[in-house]
């Protein structure tokens, strides 16, 4: 079993749609969780951290369920510019080492 | 945030040769890492570059193949030695910023081995 699993997609959605990505992780000792965004032929960039209480940043909402070892990302009112690969990222054993999921590709169409 | 640059941005190399990739951060950082991202795949950690001591390698990666240097808090190099076509990949340098786990990435070095 992979340490961090994501549905690879692609998710093809129209502009304005709401889309949700899910991620599961296997290491129950993980303490920090993130969503990164990677555009084609670019480096990954931090989109947002994920907190136990859930957090929101504009159109983006992240949720964490520690009991189920499950992380989600919700994007509302999708824009064309949201098209990218979204990487679920988990730290290892409360340290600074990160494990990346395989990524979920999103394509927003006009 | 940290701004990270890498050189070269891309290269095409012959098998059996070696390539050294440079990574420069615009500020002092505590930790630096080297990742590999093969086509269509996610990132795989190669090693943690330790300042003033030997790098810490992940399972499947060895120092003879991927020697790493980190002479100071802002600079690191990764060498891909005795290259084969299987080494064709994007190699990314990253560094830890102020927030725990907030990693910043360089633009990557796209390596093609023929």
Question: How much is the pLDDT for A56?
Answer: 94
What's residue B99's pLDDT? 57
pLDDT score at A34: 93
Chain-chain contact of A96 with B42 (C-beta, under 8 angstroms): no
A30/A100 Cα distance (integer angstroms): 13
Mutate to test the interface with A, among B102, B103, B107 (most CBs of A within 10 A): B103
| Mutation choice for A interface testing from B29, B39, B42 by most A CBs within 10 A | B42
- pLDDT value of residue A72: 96
- Residues of B in Cβ contact (< 8 Å) with A49: 99, 101-102
A63-75: pLDDT as tens digits: 999 999 999 999 9
Q: Which residues of chain A have pLDDT under 70?
A: 93-95
pLDDT at B100: 53
Q: Can you tell me whether residue B92 is helix, strand or coil? A: strand
Chain A neighbours among B 42-101 (CB < 8 Å)?
42-45, 48, 92, 96, 99-101
pLDDT digits (tens, 9 = 90+) for B6-39: 999 999 999 999 999 999 999 888 889 999 999 8
- For residue B77, the cross-strand partners are B22, B69
What pLDDT is stored for residue A92 in this prediction?
78
Dist CA A39 CA A50 (whole Å): 20
> Is A43–B107 a contact, with Cβ atoms under 8 angstroms apart?
yes
pLDDT number for residue A57 = 94
Task: Judge contact between B92 and B80, C-beta under 8 A.
Answer: no
Distance CA A3, CA A26 (A): 5
Record: contact B45-A96, CB cut-off 8 A: no
B43 to A34: CB separation less than 8 angstroms, yes or no? no
Best B35, B43, B105 residue to mutate vs chain A (most A CBs within 10 Å)? B43
Alpha-carbon distance values, B34 to A17, A97, B55, B109 (Å): 36, 11, 10, 11
Which of A32, A43, A100 faces B100 most closely, judged by CB atoms?
A: A32
Question: Read out DSSP for A64-110?
Answer: EETTTTEEEEEE-S--GGG-EEEEEEEESTTSS-EEE---EEEEEE-
| Res B50 pLDDT > 70 | yes
pLDDT of residue B82: 97
**Gap between the Cα atoms of A21 and A87, Å rounded:** 10
Pick the more confident residue, B52 or B4.
B4
pLDDT above 90 as % of chain A: 76
pLDDT of B101 > 70? The answer is: no
Whole-number Å distance between alpha carbons of A70 and A33: 10
Provide the pairing of β-strand A104-109 with A84-91: antiparallel
The SS3 call for residue A42 is coil
Residue B61 is predicted with a pLDDT of 96
Mean pLDDT, chain B, rounded, equals 92
Q: Which has more pLDDT, B86 or B39? A: B86
């Amino acid at each position: 079993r992979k340490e961090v699993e994501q549905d690879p997609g692609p998710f093809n959605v129209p502009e304005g749609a709401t889309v949700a990505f899910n991620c599961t992780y296997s290491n129950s000792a993980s303490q920090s969780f993130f969503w990164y965004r990677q555009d084609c032929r670019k480096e990954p960039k931090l989109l947002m951290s994920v907190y136990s209480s859930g957090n929101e940043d504009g159109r983006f909402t992240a949720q964490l369920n520690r009991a189920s070892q499950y992380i989600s990302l919700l994007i509302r009112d999708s824009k064309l510019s949201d098209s990218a690969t979204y990487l679920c990222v988990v730290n290892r054993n409360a340290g600074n080492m990160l494990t990346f999921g395989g990524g979920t590709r999103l394509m927003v169409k006009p | 945030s940290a701004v990270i640059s890498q050189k070269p941005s891309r290269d095409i190399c012959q098998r059996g040769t070696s390539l050294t990739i440079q990574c420069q951060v615009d500020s002092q950082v505590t930790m630096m890492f080297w990742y590999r991202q093969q086509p269509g795949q996610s990132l795989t950690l190669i090693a943690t570059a330790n300042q003033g001591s030997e790098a810490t390698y992940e399972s499947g990666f060895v120092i003879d193949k991927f020697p790493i240097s980190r002479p100071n808090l802002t600079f690191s190099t990764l060498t891909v030695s005795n290259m084969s076509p299987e080494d064709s990949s994007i190699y990314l340098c990253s560094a830890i910023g102020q927030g725990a786990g907030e990693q910043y990435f360089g633009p990557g070095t796209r390596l093609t081995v023929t």
